[in-house]
Each structure stands twice: as structure tokens, then as C-alpha cells.
Chain A
Amino acid sequence: MSAEIIASIADVLTDNIPLTPISQGAEAVVFTSPVHPYLPKNRTDGDDKLYILKYRPEKKYRHPVIDKTLTKHRTLGESRLLAKLRLIDGLNVPKLIGCDPYHGCIWLEFLGEDLPNGHGFSNLKNFLWMNASDPYSDLVRDTMINVGKQIGLMHWNDYCHGDLTTSNIVLVRAGEDWQPYLIDFGLGSISTLVEDKGVDLYVLERAIISTHSSFANRYNLWVLEGFKSVFESHGKAGLGKYKDLIRRFEEVRLRGRKRSMIG
């Protein structure tokens, strides 16, 4: 990763906030930090806690003025979306801690842990790989159904994720089970369109097929089972919406994610 990017954010946050880079995307870099951005220090909660910083660095290829407004707009947009999603009962998303739209910073709670035996971080992808020796266990089944429920709940409330992949679903241990959390709403939106929701489902289906091909059929059925259960719990209106959605999902599956041939 470019040292220049790290220097640019360290300059804003000062030496008091140590940062460890953990991942980089096209638009943002993600860091962890042991320091909370604003909570008074001498509080009694565990000291090993980590916090996530999602930082959108300046893009040199854009005009500085346009760059500033874009960064601000996107940082704010993602934060607001996350804050609204957090208010939905039963939906698991990371807690928004802070937001500095002028430097493109979003502070979030840290979720997940390292899986046992070097299986990597506890996102859905690594979890499914870890369980590849017993791919159809009850644990996997329940987890996939819960993933479907999370997506269903999000779509029922007219929110779309925009980039649902198996690495954007983080599993948090809850006793023996794992609770899925949806992360990275950088492409998220509020949308009443069945198209966007169909695309969400399609992108996840493709992600599962490409990373876990041997067991993908069963996995996808479980996800849809959980997804459907949310809509079923809302009676007739729910079922109607569900049918519209699935019809569009099948259409998307036939033609691919892009509706037009451009772009």
C-alpha cells in the first residue's frame, strides 16, 4: 500500500491514533486502531478493543475541488445510510462511531474475529471454506438461512447493499452460532426498485458460485429460504413483493447484472 496514503491520514489524526492497514479497495483504505476517536480514555471497558477507520484518500487524478465534494458526499452518504440501517430492528450492521466528511473518514465498530486453525478472518467466505469438509452441516445451514434473513430484512425496508459478496458478510460469534453482519455500504442506496434488489441477490449468488462452486446450489437455496421467510412474515403484501422480486431476480440471472450494453 502506498505510504503516501498512510501519511496523508496520519497527518490529520496525529500520532495519538496508531493505524494498521487491513484492506484496500478502489475508493477507500480500511485501518484498525486501538484508539477510540473521542471516548474519554479512562473508561472501564476492555482495552483490547479495536475500531475500524474507513478512509477515502484524495484522488490525484480528479480536480481538487471536485474531489473534495465527491469525498464529502460519499462519506456522508455512507454514514447516513449506516445510521438508518442501524435503527432497523433485527438488522445487523456495524455501529457508526464517527464521521469526518472533510477528510473522508468513517469510524466504525470492529466486528468479527480470526477463525480457528489459521482459516483467516471470520467473513462468510472463509467460514464456508473452513466448513468445506462438512459443507451441509446444521451450522452452515443455519448460518446461510440467517444470511438470507438479513438480506430479506434489508430489502423489505427498501435498502440495497450494492456489492453483496461473501467477503462483505462478517460473522460474529454468538455462543455456538454465528450471526451475519452486512458491511461496506459504500455502494448502498435507498431504493424501491426491484431491479436493484434483484441485482443484490444475483451478485451474491455469483459470488457464492465462484468461491464455493461444489456446494453453491445448496448454499443459494438456503439463502433464498431465509430471504423468503422475512417476506412471508409480512403476510400477503410481503408475498406479493417477494414474487415480484424473485421474478426480476430470475430475469437478472438470465441477462447478467447490467441492463444496458453500455458501461
Chain B
Amino acid sequence: MAGIVLKYKIPQFQEYTIHVQKYNNVTNSSELRSKLAELPFAYIDSKTVISVEQLSSAIYKAILETEYNRMRTRTIHSECILSLSPSSNIGDALNRFGIKEGTTDIIVIKIIEDSNEEPYDGNASVDGDLVPVSDDEFSTSADKEIIKTVCIPCDKL
């Protein structure tokens, strides 16, 4: 099993290195929220993520769109959050999957393009307890009722 931080590359996109971290008992989520635009990370409310597969599929889609098509949002990190959402509405996606005022469990994604960025030192400015990234950890903090409302397209409800 992976260490406490999940670091990997997608076979098809070797030039990107992906780091995933998870923090519990986060105390500075409102501060993070106010600085979201400046911080080069994707902060995700871990209530909305149930597995590594769900998260990594969104990252894959984000990089795929960036490489082959065009970004719909301003950064690759916000693109990850958009890719989690079944709809293409950016504001909606950020509201649903992004961190809220009072979110305590946060998943952080950091994507580095190897050619033109410094390696990542692991500091995501989050005050909280770093926990291992795993399906088990994700499923304990996930909220299935919330996932049902955010992940199932509206016409299915």
C-alpha cells in the first residue's frame, strides 16, 4: 500500500507528477477558502469522494482535457474539481466538491508539470492531521447521501 502521501504518474502522461494528500481535523478551512485563487492546489471536500478510483478518474480527465482539448477553468487544479462533477457548470462543481466554510476533512491534489515547475515539497498550507491516502480512509470520511446528490445527474433524481 502507498505511503501517507500518494504520489504517482499516469502511464499516458509521464510529464505530470500527481500528489494526493488527505488531512483530517482541519482548522483553517475558512482561511484556505479566502485564498483559494492564489494557492496552486485543488482542495476537495472529502465528504464527496469515496474512493481513489473516483478521484484518479477525475485527475485523468482533467489532464486529458488539458493536453488534447482546452482547459475550461483557469488552472489544472480547478479542472480536477470540475472533472469530479457530472455537470459542466464550473461554479456548481466548485461549490459542491470544493471546500466549504467549516470543512474539516480535506483532500489536496497537487499536479506538477515536470518540465517547468519546482518539485513539490509537500506543504499545502493546511493545518490538520495528515492521514494515509487509501480507499479505506476515503470511505470513512465520505458521506454517501451527499455523494448521491452531487454525483448523480439531475435527470436521474
Taking beta carbons and an 8 Å cutoff, which residues of A are in contact with B?
Answer: 12-14, 16-17, 35, 37-44, 87, 97-98, 100, 102-103
Contacts and interface: CB of A to CB of B under 8 A. Distances in A.
A120 B23 CA distance: 49
Given A16-B12, A17-B12, A37-B60, A42 B2 contact: yes
Interface in B32-61: 52-53, 56-57, 59-61
A163 to B, nearest CB: 26
Contact of B56 (A17, A40, A44, A102): A40
Contacts of B59: 38
A39 B6 CA distance: 11
B1 A16 contact: no
A41 B12 contact: no
Contacts of A98: 57, 60-61
B34 to A, nearest CB: 31
A22 B59 CA distance: 29
B146 interface: no
Given A38-B59, A102-B69, 14 more contacts: A12-B12, A13-B11, A13-B12, A14-B11, A16-B12, A16-B14, A17-B12, A38-B57, A40-B2, A40-B6, A40-B8, A87-B152, A98-B57, A100-B68
Contacts of A38: 10-12, 56-57, 59-60
B74 interface: no
Counting chain B residues whose Cβ lies within 8 A of the other chain, the interface size class is 20 to 34
Contacts of A16: 11-12, 14
Contacts, number: 51
Nearest to B155: A84
Interface of B: 1-2, 6, 8, 10-12, 14, 52-53, 56-57, 59-61, 64, 68-69, 152, 156
A259 B24 CA distance: 62
Nearest to B156: A87
A108 to B, nearest CB: 13
Contacts of B156: 87
28 contacts: A12-B12, A13-B11, A13-B12, A16-B14, A17-B11, A17-B12, A35-B11, A37-B10, A37-B12, A37-B60, A38-B59, A40-B2, A40-B8, A40-B56, A42-B1, A42-B2, A42-B8, A43-B1, A43-B2, A43-B52, A44-B1, A87-B156, A98-B61, A100-B68, A102-B64, A102-B68, A102-B69, A103-B68
B57 to A, nearest CB: 6
A30 to B, nearest CB: 18
Which 5 pairs show the lowest CB-CB distances between chains A and B?
Answer: A38-B60, A16-B11, A40-B8, A102-B68, A38-B56
A100 B64 contact: yes
A117 to B, nearest CB: 36
A39 B52 contact: yes
A35 B14 CA distance: 14
Contacts of A87: 152, 156
